[in-house]
Amino acid sequence: MKLNDKKDFTALMHTLLDPLVSLYSPGGARLTLGETGVTYDRSAIGLEGFSRPLWALAPFWLGGGRWPEMEAVYQKGLAAGTDPNGPEYWGDTKDYDQCFVEMAAIACAILEVPRLVWEPLDGTARQNLARWLYSINEHFVPHCNWLFFRVLVNLALDSVGMPCDMAASRRDLAEMDGWYVSDGWYTDGPADVKPQKDYYIPWALQYYGVLYSVFAAKRDPDRAAVYRARALEFGRSFARWFDENGAALPYGRSLTYRFGQCAFYSACVWAGLEPLPLPVMKGIIVRNLQWWLSRPILDRDGVLTIGYCYPNLYMSERYNAPGSPYWGMKSFLLLALPEDHPFWSAQAAPLPEDIAAPGVYAQRATGLLLQRLPDGQLNAYAPGEVEYSEHGQFAEKYAKFCYSTRFGFSASRSCVQLEQAAPDSMLAFVLPGPDGGWTFVRRHSESFKLHDDRLVSVWRPMPGVCVTTELIPCPGGHIRRHRVESDIACAACDCGFAVPKFAPGFAQRAEGPQAEARNDRAACQVLSRDGGGEGVIVDAWPNTNLYSPNTVIPAVKYDIRPGTTVLETVVTSRAE
């Protein structure tokens, strides 16, 4: 699908939202797209489905677009969802309520197009909506990007002359400012609790910060200026997370939001910010959207699925409901731009040469060591720095040694068998036991140090074992040096990337100290440098990998004895 002008982007919005039109509840307040469960109830699931298309619809309307059928649905739904005596009431809110997340889209719609989502409501409906939104000020809101939801809600309430709590918003903004790291990066909460840097910075903290800099430009000009300056820094740094083929780095949680990866640049264009030249930002946005459109991310009815490159519940979070993927509609903020905005006529440009050129770059603010190979593959060597209060599968999403834009990563089915654990890009310790034994990997690093040419971390996969790992980029891949201090005897498999099988040209080989898997488009080889290991192929269970439903993982198996063991493995890869 070509994505050049405003008509093209509008057509894509319709491709994604047209299948939803007939699925709203009779009162319009709920949109249920599936039957899978999450940590919140069916009412909140229906609200989530209702709210998230607004991330595209409100900008579309702001930019002069008309969709009378959807306008009627949302006017009716906002009244029905906030009527405490009605059958589609979203419910009274409570501490840590999912409703607070969904309030953000409604608040931004009020700020952007009050003529369509506020003014058509009668007096009672306005009072009900305002009362329901205000409830975010009466309950505990978790200290993460959720604080911005309260800020946006109070801005929206104030904009239409309804009761609000701007003092609470000022406290929230002051707290979030304390999470700032450098180069535009934050942590998504207090750094001692949530140290990881992931997509919640571009599609949440930075995205909302850019919106705030526009919505509150007159009432809070100093903070708006700070947010705009930080966005300029961040936009230059974050561009390094994109592959020249359009893929963004698969890393961290909530990846089912998919093309939300490029939403930050859409926000910058809308706000008149240019951390990169406008054609370069257009290139990032267009290539990312096109990369996603080439994947089977829609079901047979055209509805977005939970998953990454294909439908996959195994990698999802416990808060990913059927409507969750529509958070990615934030990237359609571009539709608020007028027809004559230069973005629409700009030619999509490649990444700047200093970003796209092969080489190694230590991204200090994130703790990642980034490497671009001559074939364009982007590898990110990760420190394993992550919060301890896990959402689930944090080892897979943050603590693998290397994340690649060409191979994706695998999410474990269990730790009972190596094949179920699918520990690509990990040193997996295997203890003997029934049904193949138990597998242990790096979950958190006790400490790490980022150098210009390597990343060193200290970690403990299980009691009695301590590992110091050096990750050293080299031509075509990287070297892993592990110093294992163990009180027990066990095996350890140093695993490469997961390579798709059942693909044209597929072949696998394990011989002596090396193993390799390849197909016509990708290949990965692992080699024990001192010859002390044995090449093996791990036949990963289906649907563990984010990119491909069927993969194998080449690995080197080592024997670990009590005492100190030093291992050195070379991992090389190529991929289109």
Three-point CA angle 419, 476, 482, nearest 5°: 55
Backbone angles phi, psi at 71, to 5 degrees: -60, -45
Question: How is domain 6-356 classified at the architecture level of CATH?
Answer: Alpha/alpha barrel (1.50)
For domain 409-575, which CATH number applies: 3.60.15.10, 1.20.140.10, 2.70.98.70, 1.10.3080.10? 2.70.98.70
Q: What is the pLDDT of residue 389?
A: 73
Distance between CA atoms of 304 and 294, rounded to whole angstroms? 13
279-331 pLDDT tens trace? 999 999 999 999 999 999 999 999 999 999 999 999 999 999 999 999 999 99
The CA–CA distances, whole Å, from 439 to 143, 397, 463, 470, 511 equal 34, 17, 13, 21, 23
- Over the stretch 263-279, which tens digit does the pLDDT of each residue have? 999 999 999 999 999 99
User: What would the two tokens of residue 50 be?
Assistant: 């209702």
pLDDT at 531: 80
pLDDT digits 0-9 by tens, 439-458: 999 999 999 999 999 999 99
Write the pLDDT tens digit of every residue in 165-187: 999 999 999 999 999 999 999 99
Provide the residue ranges of all domains of the chain, joining segments of one domain with +: 6-356, 409-575
Fold match, 6-356 / 409-575: no
**Dihedral sign from CA coordinates of 80, 82, 86, 91:** positive
Helix spans in 329-403 (H): 342-345, 353-356, 394-398
Q: What angle do CA 220, 221, 225 make, to 5 degrees?
A: 125
Q: Which stretches of 281-346 are assigned E, i.e. beta strand?
A: none
Specify the DSSP class assigned to residue 326. G
- CA dist 236 and 368 (Å) reads 15
With bands split at pLDDT 50, 70 and 90, how would you rate the model's confidence at 51? very high
pLDDT at 434 over 80: no
